[in-house]
Structure 1
């Protein structure tokens, strides 16, 4: 009997880590449900992947800050594929400004996109998984979530920490079920979204980073720092070092 091919839903899939994850999962034979705001880039990605891999790919326009649309798009993908085995909450923004410098609107947008919109995605995903009595929820947090950080990272780090604790709570709720919940903490991965930034400590390129991310995700861990070396050690140090030392790292 042929085994049913698994489907992975990825938000924020038009560029950066989302597009890189799509390439990696397609190469492993997964069907893909891809969504993002920029549909022209999604369609281009769909065409390139379908030319290279024998997988089914569906794309939908989605602004994750339109919370009703999140539920509609996830349900539409469910009807299209019949089931969703893995949903990756990846959409997010990296903007941020120093607190108290007159940029509340930017910081609010960062918090709303990285946490409130992520909450909507988690709600929509777990609703589907509860009905299926199966599924794997994956939240893309950040190594910055390990500690409160200064400068432009303050709101970003807090929003990613909030997402990590949200997923821990969901995991606690679902411990007695077949539904798995993973929190992923990526280190510095160079993508087109941060191409203009200065070289960062221990950074790796997108291809290497996404390959490591998918390897970690497929293990369905409770949590994972990616790549494990050196970020697992760095994560521990960030939580125990004096705050003044951590502040100098950024």
Structure 2
């Protein structure tokens, strides 16, 4: 059975990368958007672009810092009011510039965990308050294939942060099981964005192809989706069972 159209979509981290790409795809599909990020100048430029390209689409933007729970608690409902609610919330904002644990870069790793875990949690809290009031909605958490096993080097904190999102999403899903609130965890592989600089190997896909696959998966509203499905679904299955020595060689940074 096809899902209802999720007309009003919120996307965090929409000023660049996957967030910006998703905004363009969903606008082309005629969806109304609420976009947030810290770089409001880039959001406003994207807003103007999308309104020019798709005059019938509503695009609202606001500066929001996911590291500040007060910012999230204030800005999110303001954007929801502008669109009359949200049908889908995509928790996308994240960073990935960590370092090997114990190499004097604790601040970098803490920042990754702060933004990717606590920032996502803050967004989930306000999104689920809204969806519980509405009695329906689609919550999407953008995780990563890096969450499947512990990652070495610069991706240790990043992989751990995304593993936390998987557990957070599953807990929320269990809490509202049987309701009209759908929770999806989406695990992209290597897509050519700033977060994957230095990780662009033979399995990396271009941004356009990656965003196309990402929006298609989100539209299907799976419990868990890999992006692109091939090769990352079988790769993830292998990563779960391979010895750590092999995983380390495959994923080393």
TM range (shorter): over 0.9
Give me the whole-angstrom Cα distance separating, in 1, the residues matched to 2:120 and 2:138.
15
8 A contact 2:6–2:87 mirrored in 1: no
Runs of 4 or more consecutive aligned structure 1 residues displaced over 6 Å after TM superposition: none
Map 1:205-244 → 2, pairs under 5 A: 205-244=206-245
- Closer, same or farther in 2 for the Cα pair 1:65/1:222, shift >3 Å? same
1:201 deviation in Å? 3.3
- Equivalent residue pairs, number: 247
Whole-angstrom CA distance in 1 between matches of 2:195 and 2:97: 11
CA deviation after TM superposition for structure 1 residue 17, in Å: 0.5
Q: Is the Cα contact below 8 Å between 2:182 and 2:221 reproduced in 1?
A: yes
What are the residue-to-residue correspondences of 1:148-227 with 2, within 5 Å? 148-191=150-193, 193-194=194-195, 196-197=197-198, 199-227=200-228
SS in 2 for 1:189: coil
The runs of 5 or more residues in structure 2 that have no matched partner are none
- 1:159-203 CA distances to partner (integer Å, 9 max, x unpaired)? 000011100000000112100000000011102x15752532311
TM-score (norm 2): 0.95
Tell me, yes or no, if the aligned pair for 1:64 and 1:70 is still in contact at 8 Å.
Answer: yes
Q: CA deviation at 1:81?
A: 1.1
Q: Structure 1 length normalisation: TM-score?
A: 0.96
Change in 2 beyond 3 A, CA 1:198/1:148: closer
Quote the residue 2:139 is aligned against.
137
- After superposition, the Cα gap between the structure-2 partners of 1:194 and 1:168, relative to the gap in structure 1 and judged at 3 Å, is closer
- The DSSP-based 3-state class of the residue aligned with 1:204 is coil
**Cross-structure match for 2:7:** 6
User: Residues 196 and 112 of structure 1: is their aligned pair in 2 closer, same or farther, counting only changes over 3 Å?
Assistant: closer
CA distance in 2, matches of 1:123, 1:160: 17
Aligned to 2:52: 51
In 2, the alpha carbon distance for the partners of 1:151 and 1:219 equals 34
* Matched residue SS, 1:24: helix
Deviation at residue 219 of structure 1 after TM alignment: 0.7
When the two chains are superposed, the root-mean-square deviation of aligned CA atoms in Å is 1.4
